[in-house]
Amino acid sequence: MVCEDAATRIAAGRGSRCDDQRAVTRTVFITGAYGAVGSWLARACVERGDHVVVLRRDEVPGSALVLDGTQERCTVVHGDMLTPGLLERVLAEHAVDTVFHLAAHSVVGTAQRSPLSTFETNVRGTWIVMEACRLVGVPRVVAASSIKAYGERAAADRPLVESDALHGRHVYAVSKAAADAIARSYWDGYGVRVATTRLANVYGGGDLNRSRLVPDVMAAVLGGNPPIVRSDGTPQRDFLHVDDAVTAYLAVADLLDRDDDIACGAAFNAGGEPHSVIEIVETILRLAGSDAEPEIHGAPLPPGVSDRLSLDSSLLRDLTGWRPEVGLEEGLRRTLSWYRAHPSALDLSYTRSHGRSLQVGGDQAQEGDRRRPPRQALHQARTRDHGRREGGRGRP
C-alpha cells in the first residue's frame, strides 16, 4: 500500500524533513476557496507571495475570503468545476503549477439527505479535477480527504494511522473514502504527483456551517442563548485549528517536490487533540464570559460507534516537522474573536424555534424536543468526561 511504502522509506532513513523550497513563487489554483479551510489556505498562499487563482460558483458574502479581503488579492474564475472543459482551460491559461482540491459537500447531514449531489461533487468532482491535472500536466496536486473516511466505527483504542482501512459507511464518509482513493490512483496510474490530506475536525473563524459544533455554539453564545447538546456530551473527537490545517496542506504540497517521490500517491493524517463535546462547549462559554449552562438533551453513542476518534500524524511530522501549534483554548479564542469581528458571518438572529441543536461530533444538526432536561444530566456529563480524561486514556 502506498502509505505503508512511505512509512517504510522513513524508517529506512530516506525521509526525514522536507527541504525549504520557498524561493519559488507558485501559481496556485484552489477549489473550495470560499469554504472554511480554503479561504485561510488562499490567504496563506497570497501572503507568502504566490499567485492564487480561485474558483467561484456562487456568491458567498459571508466567506472569510470575502470578509478578510483575500478575494481582492486573488484571480477569481467564475464557474462550476463540473462544467466540461472548464478546469483544463483554467489550469492551462493560468499556467498553474499547484492545485489544492478542497471543494466538497462537507456537511454530513446535508450529504445524507442529498446523496446524488454529494457523490456528484465529492466523487465525480475529484476525478474531473484529477483528469484536468493529468491532461494539462500540473506538477503537484493536494486533494482534501478527512478523518471521516475512516468511518465512525474505526478503532477507538489508539490513534488512526494511514494504513488503517477506510470503513466509511454513510454517504459523506463513503464519498470521502472514494475521492481519496481516486486521487491517489492518479500517481500509480498516470504519474500525477498527488497526495491526500486526512484532516481531523477543523474549526476556526469563517466556518459558516451552523450544523457544526464550534460555529453553532459560537452563534448561540453570541446570540445570548445557551447551547444545546444532542448527546451525553462525552464522545471525544480530534479537533484541529484552521491555521494548523493550512500549514499541513502547505507541508504536503512541498513534499511533492522531492526527487525521491516519497509523498506521491500517499495519504497524510493531520490531527490535533481529542476533546469531548462538553469540553469544547464549556471552554467557549468560559472564553465568551457567558454564565449560560449547556442543555444536555442526549444519550451515549449507540453500540459499535467509537466514542473516541483521533489521528496519528507521525508520518507527516517525521517527513516535514509539521505538528499542530494552536492549542484548543487559543484556537477557540481566535475563533471567537473572528466571529465577534464579523457578526454578519453567523445569523445571530437565530432563535430556539428553529429547532437546531448540537450533535455528537459537530458534523450534523438534529431536530428535537426543546424541553430542558434535569440539571443532573449536565453534572453526569461532566463527571463522565472528567473520569474518561483521568482514567488513563490520555492524548494520542
Distance of CA 337 to the CA centre of its chain: 20
Helix axis angle, 277-288 to 376-389, nearest 10°: 110
Q: How far apart are CA 232 and CA 154, in angstroms?
A: 20
Could you tell me if 32 and 102 are in contact, meaning their C-beta atoms sit under 8 angstroms apart? yes
Q: How far apart are CA 259 and CA 194, in angstroms?
A: 14
Could you tell me if 312 and 396 are in contact, meaning their C-beta atoms sit under 8 angstroms apart? yes
Helix H or strand E encompassing 337: helix 328-341
DSSP codes of every residue in 132-186: HHHHHT-SEEEEE--GGGG-TTS-SSS-B-TTS-----SHHHHHHHHHHHHHHHH
- Residue 309's DSSP bridge partners are 237
DSSP codes of every residue in 259-320: TT-TTTT-EEEE--EEEEHHHHHHHHHHHHT-----EE---PPPTTS-SEE-B--HHHHHHH
DSSP codes of every residue in 22-77: TTSPPEEEEETTTSTTHHHHHHHHHHTT-EEEEEESS--TTSHHHHTT-GGGSEEE
- Grid cell listed for 154: 474505526
- Grid cell listed for 77: 474564475
Catalytic one of 34, 150, 172, 339: 172
Question: What value, to the nearest 5°, has the Cα angle with vertex 85 and ends 80 and 88?
Answer: 100
- Grid cell listed for 386: 472528567
Q: How far apart are CA 58 and CA 34, in angstroms?
A: 9
Q: In 10 A of CB 394, how many CB atoms? A: 8
Q: Would residue 172 show up in a list of annotated catalytic residues for this protein?
A: yes
| Strand duo 51-56 + 273-276: pairing | unpaired
Active-site residue set? 172
